[in-house]
Each structure stands twice: as structure tokens, then as C-alpha cells.
Chains A and B, each alone.
Chain A
Amino acid sequence: LAKTTQPISMDSYEGQEVNITCSHNNIATNDYITWYQQFPSQGPRFIIQGYKTKVTNEVASLFIPADRKSSTLSLPRVSLSDTAVYYCLVGSYNQGGKLIFGQGTELSVKP
């Protein structure tokens, strides 16, 4: 399973765009990249998933370069309620769907 590396923490202010980059140098051909958000004492919540290039949904965008060795989660115009831990994971169903969580990035949004 590919190991991921993210910044441990990030600070931002309300209304700013936040970009969190994740490194996954050993990503396998079948691996998808998935980002989750976790609030204290809650289970992780799915944010976005992609395989290559760019994916956008109603809450975030995911940018994946051609070599797929990294990915960037982009949160537009963050609010205080976006303060949470964000996890980047790589894995595939071909590997039994296992996900190994790294440290995650603790995002703090200030007023």
C-alpha cells in the first residue's frame, strides 16, 4: 500500500482558498486517491476521489498531475466549520480496499 505524506498542520482565514498537498510516490497503477475530512469524535467523511487530472464536486477540487505521485485538495473559500483533520489515502479494491491512514493535516480556519 502506498504511503502518503501530508503537512501536519495548516492555518487559514475565513474566505481564503486552501490547498493541501499530499505526496504518494509509490502509488500503484490501480490506486485511486481519496480525501476524507474528520471532525473530533466523528467518523471520517468522504470529500472527493480521483484517479488522474482534475476532479471537482460541490465542496472541493482534486488536482492530480500526470505522474500521480502527488495530489492537491483545494477547498474554495473556507469557513470556520472547515476546521478539521484532512486525510489523503491511496488504495484500490484490487488490494482488498484496504486504506492505511497517515497523520493527516490539521486545518485550522481563523476568523
Chain B
Amino acid sequence: GAVVSQHPSRVICKSGTSVKIECRSLDFQATTMFWYRQFPKQSLMLMATSNEGSKATYEQGVEKDKFLINHASLTLSTLTVTSAHPEDSSFYICSATDGPDTQYFGPGTRLTVL
């Protein structure tokens, strides 16, 4: 149980294009989903908290107009990196929770912006 998937697992795009990453909770309804970013050899950095049907809450320093988050249902949240640039290249990881104090993480999406 408690499986979270992400799609795609890796994506390469040109600078200036937008990329959408999907996060799904497969066997439970996620009241809250989280998006993280991880650069090489570094820890995970929380970007935003997403609740179904409401606007995401972004961490300080994260541009909400650049990283668009939509949480359309209790099993799906999407992160869109708009007008991506090489510095946005990173490993993006989502997590989901169904209420109790445990987050379950997706496998991550490797974004490379050329």
C-alpha cells in the first residue's frame, strides 16, 4: 500500500519551454501533496504544499508563477515548470499523505533543460 507514482521519470526539454510533471497516489486518497526539489549531492528542499481544491502554499523563495501547481483531485497533483531554463534542471520529487503523520514519496522526475 501507499504507493505514489510520478510521470515522466525523466524529461529533457529546450530552454524556454514548459514541462508538466504528474504525481499520483495509487492506492489512497491524498489530502495533501508536497513538491520537493533536489540538486546533486544535496538534501531535498520543500517547494510547496498542495491541498486538493485549493491554492498551493509555496515556500519562501519559490516563484509561484514559475512553478505552477494544480491539485485537481485527491489522487493527482501536477507541477508545471514554466519557461524552463538550465538552472531549473534538477530532480523533482512529490510526496503524498492521507492524514496521519507519514509522507509517501514518488520515485522522482529528472528534469534536464538544455
Contact bitstring B35-60, A, C-beta under 8 A = 1, else 0: 01000000111100100000001000
Is the CB–CB distance between B43 and A42 below 8 Å? Answer: no
Is the CB–CB distance between B34 and A44 below 8 Å? Answer: no
B99 at the interface (CB under 8 A from A): yes
The size of the chain B interface, using a CB distance under 8 A, is 27
Residues in chain A within 8 A of chain B (CB atoms):
32, 34, 36, 41-46, 49, 87, 91-93, 96-104
The A interface, classified by DSSP as helix, strand, loop or mixed, is loop
B32 at the interface (CB under 8 A from A): yes
Q: Determine the distance from Cα of A87 to Cα of B46 in the docked complex, in whole angstroms.
A: 14
B27 at the interface (CB under 8 A from A): no
Which residues of chain B are near A44, meaning CB under 8 Å? 44, 93, 95, 105
Is the CB–CB distance between B45 and A101 below 8 Å? Answer: yes
Q: For residues 68 through 114 of chain B, which have their beta carbon under 8 Å from a beta carbon of chain A? A: 91, 93, 95, 97, 99-108, 110
30 contacting pairs across A/B (C-beta < 8 A)? A32-B102, A34-B102, A34-B103, A36-B105, A41-B108, A42-B108, A43-B4, A43-B93, A43-B105, A43-B107, A43-B108, A44-B93, A44-B105, A49-B102, A87-B43, A93-B97, A93-B99, A93-B100, A96-B32, A97-B32, A98-B46, A98-B49, A99-B34, A99-B103, A101-B36, A101-B44, A101-B45, A101-B46, A102-B43, A103-B43
